[in-house]
Structure 1
Amino acid sequence: MVALRGWPSFPEELPAFTPETASPDPRELFLEWLTEAGEHVLAPHAVTLSTVDADGAPDARVVILKDVGPGGWAVATSSESPKGLQLRKDPRAALTFFWPGRGRQVRLRGPVSAATPEVSAEDFLARPPASRVEAFIGHQSQVLRDPAELDTAAAEAARWVADNPGVAPETWTRYLVDPDEVEFWQASHDRRHVRLRYRKADGAWVRERLWP
């Protein structure tokens, strides 16, 4: 049996967080935390995207945050992928960022909308070549019965991308999560963790401290 309780959860030194001085806009505070995390941890822009499937069961996977702006937090995928299909049926999602090296977590949830085809294509064409090839392979999450089929599909996709460098798949979609709630969580070794929630009310953000 693995001694799970013996592993440390956070480093000895943790950053300070004073909710009283936090920005009134959660996007500004998030970008501060993201920038700070980027100085200490690998892939600070990796985020768990949670959706629900056709049966209402939760589903989650780690993706890469594309941007944060007035429209919300942006991620991207094929509209024909499992997560794309789930968002089509129930356009709501949750995003969870966890930076254990800083003892910090950010959780947000809200409605999801698709960006325009032009913006989605721009997102796709900004991806590295290998990522564009992967998107053209298709068949995401389907059963792979023979690895040789993947090699063949990857070679065909690579040729297509090389011959059509300015073309994006029609299914590639940039999604915007426009949260109703955003929570910032700062760990404390005494377990009196600091939690600050931003909640939308009448078009404005309300800040609330939460019990640990």
Structure 2
Amino acid sequence: MQQVLRGLKSLAGPFQSFVIAAAPEQPLPLFQEWLQAAIDAGIAEAHAMTLSTVDEQGMPDARVLILKNLDEQGWYFATTRRSPKSKQVEATHKAALTFYWQPLGRQVRIRGEVIAASAQVCQSDFQERPVGSRAGALLGRQSDVLLNEQELINGLAQQRQRVEHDPTLANPDWVVYRVEAHEVEFWQGDTERNHVRLRYRRTESTNTGWIKERLWP
């Protein structure tokens, strides 16, 4: 397998240059620019990201999910309070996000505090989800051990009927979280491994609230 892996190409390029001198003073405008570039390039699920947390034993955990929104306050994702990710977030109130747009050779890493949105925001997000997604969330069995396939089928059908009968049905366990970043790193890959890395660190010592730092590849 080692030889197979060594035979696979990585960072083949060509990639756009990343001029740090032209980067804005805050990370959000640059992230929006890079995300839009990924969308314009036709990258599938450009809004997909890896959410990393730690469990009660301190063991890292990671999974890919969808960015729900972003604004000056942070990056948003949603889940059910019964899920492992929610329990881990509620225990530490910290998380990391990673975006990787392979065709562009670009990666963004975000670390920060996690804050739950208001009940109104959570329920509004739940109502906007497709019927099948709402049914799955109402079932509330994410990550439980599945012993009977028919139990899953019946449970989803039952919850779907509830949603179709009452489209305004709320889910008190649904929660939208915001990652309020204290560190955001932009990574532009280079075919010769001379990667360009720009890190923003939150600080109160500047008017912009951020410090920009060039990092070694």
* TM-score, length basis structure 1: 0.97
The answer for the alignment partner of 1:175 in structure 2 is 177
The answer for the alignment partner of 1:140 in structure 2 is 142
The answer for the alignment partner of 2:20 in structure 1 is 19
Whether 1:210 and 2:211 are equivalent positions in the alignment is no
State the Cα RMSD in Å: 1.1
Deviations 1:11-34 (A, max 9, x none): 432122111101111011001000
**After superposition, where does 1:33-182 map in structure 2 within 5 Å?**
33-40=34-41, 41-182=43-184
Distance in 2, matches of 1:106 and 1:42, equals 17
Distance in 2, matches of 1:153 and 1:39, equals 39
Give the letter aligned to residue 111 of structure 2: R
Distance in 2, matches of 1:96 and 1:12, equals 20
Secondary structure class of the residue paired with 2:154: helix
When the two structures are aligned, how many residues end up with a matched partner?
212
Distance in 2, matches of 1:183 and 1:87, equals 21
* TM-score, length basis structure 2: 0.95
| 1:51 CA displacement | 0.7
| 1:187 CA displacement | 0.3
Deviations 1:41-100 (A, max 9, x none): 110100000111111111110010011112210000011110111111111000000111
Give the letter aligned to residue 208 of structure 1: E
Q: Which runs of 5+ in 1 are unaligned?
A: none
Distance in 2, matches of 1:112 and 1:80, equals 17
